[in-house]
Structure 1
């Protein structure tokens, strides 16, 4: 059952990056159910087609554009924007859900690993946003939601490079928000902790291996570390992102909305 009116985003075209990941996948379904025209992108064409099939059970086929792209490539970023605009017109909502994870202690880090996390999670996401933002400035409207993390708000063991990339996203969100709101554009971030996605499960699996415990024990340990006693669902994060795209969130600017089950309060 939807939390939102079926026409809450009917006036918007929303581009979702990382739509093949758990959070991006669910976000696409939520905003499609709110009436938005949706462009989904990612590198896994098979998963994109599967998502498109699900979206077409929620909204009209013509409201969905499927555009595979590698956002680390400049030509792909530019083509993505041009093709999305051709399909649905002005992009007035952007959800930056694309990202990679990885946990290593400082002595295990190498230059390639650091560059990969910073490139995907921060640099390329910012460059894509910059192109779309310029068009939003011309229209004096737009909403941008960046997927950050609790790791962008506090450090944790074995998480130096990933946390640095997500701290960068939070800092960029706050700084850009101050500039963008002068043009009627809102920029916010969502900061979830563990979410029941493939990426999080892989992270928990690696952590369990380092501790010499089973994956199941690692999942239980992760849940028990949260005051609510469980990790979040992708749908919960998607609903928060969707809310930030609506007019109901019109005066929420530059925030980093935590979804932590009570594990991070400040």
Structure 2
């Protein structure tokens, strides 16, 4: 019986206990990878890990550099060096630019950009030593274009895309690929909670709120987390070994 495509590879997914991260981790388990999920809530991590058949979990706030490095080291002590890193953890806050305080920009850069830097620097030496590695950054269409009222988030995600391109050039001859995935609005529990808040605040219908969110998507629908997971699985596999430095939009044809 042939081994599954990612058999023997240790994959670590940050933000792996909810939303897109769960779908990614579940798909990588199905591809045969040894999967560790990383998040903040240990109870939820344990529950999700059991539900999807992950091989372990580690707890850390990705904005805490020392804690994140320690968690990755813990995962590697158990399952060996990380061969596939999915930098999925992130957050978005909104405010008009003129009302956005400096700490808002710092929070968005810390969770969306600096966590990617910390995690990637932790695993990359091992990848280079092995001559194999995949770093996959979950960015956003906000990394490819501008959106109103989320200037700090847009700036951070643009930075992730730029970082991806620079890292890809530095690792191109070392057996490591670095890519970004840029989803549009995805149908997750966090998005649904956001929709509920808008409905409560404005009295608008849920369908109207979602329709507004996807107005720039020619397919006029939310992106399914499984679609993002499919792309991660492809980028992690042997068939994408020549794909590096790319920012792949999953947005129903939205113009960037």
Is the TM-score greater than 0.5? Answer: yes
- Partner of residue 128 from structure 1, selected from 110, 116, 119: 119
2-structure distance, mates of 1:115, 1:221: 28
Q: CA deviation at 1:225?
A: 3.9
Alignment of 1:186-225 (within 5 A): 186-204=177-195, 213-225=204-216
Matched, 1:173 2:173: no
Q: Deviations over 1:209-238 (max 9, x none)?
A: 787734442013324542112111011111
TM-score (norm 2): 0.93
| Aligned-partner SS, 1:227 | coil
- Does the 8 Å CA contact 1:189/1:257 hold for their aligned counterparts? yes
Matched, 1:163 2:163: no
| Aligned-partner SS, 1:136 | helix
Q: Deviations over 1:129-169 (max 9, x none)?
A: 11211221222210000000000000011121100000000
1:60 aligned residue: none
Alignment of 1:235-246 (within 5 A): 235-246=226-237
Name whichever of 253-262 and 134-143 sits farther off.
134-143
2-structure distance, mates of 1:160, 1:220: 22
2:27 aligned residue: 30
- Does the 8 Å CA contact 1:26/1:234 hold for their aligned counterparts? yes
2-structure distance, mates of 1:128, 1:37: 18
Name whichever of 213-222 and 41-50 sits farther off.
213-222
2-structure distance, mates of 1:214, 1:93: 41
Instruction: Please list every run of 5 or more consecutive structure 2 residues that lacks an aligned counterpart in the other structure.
Output: none
Q: CA deviation at 1:74?
A: 2.6
1-structure distance, mates of 2:205, 2:79: 47
RMSD: 2.0
Q: CA deviation at 1:125?
A: 1.9
Matched, 1:13 2:10: yes
TM-score (norm 1): 0.89
Name whichever of 195-204 and 185-194 sits farther off.
195-204
